[in-house]
Amino acid sequence: MEQGIDIGRTEERVNIARNMKKKEFDIALISEATGLTAEKNERLE
């Protein structure tokens, strides 16, 4: 059950990062806000 919760949280962070990227937020700011790496944020579409 814990693993499912972690997966859901990660998916939500990715969705937030995608939305921020669409609005042209800086990658460093997206990384800081979501906890995702800059490399992962750059690969998002």
* pTM given for the model: 0.85
The confidence band for 45, taking pLDDT boundaries of 50, 70 and 90, is confident
Give the span between the Cα atoms of 36 and 29, in whole angstroms: 10
Span 1-37, pLDDT tens digits = 889 999 999 999 999 999 999 999 999 999 999 999 9
The confidence band for 44, taking pLDDT boundaries of 50, 70 and 90, is confident
- Residues of the domain holding 39: 2-43
Over the range 7-44, which residues count as b (16 or more CB within 10 Å of their CB) and which as e? Answer: eeeeeebeeebeebbeeeeebeebbeebebeeeebeeb
- pLDDT, position 11: 96
Report the number of distinct structural domains present in the chain: 1
- pLDDT, position 5: 93
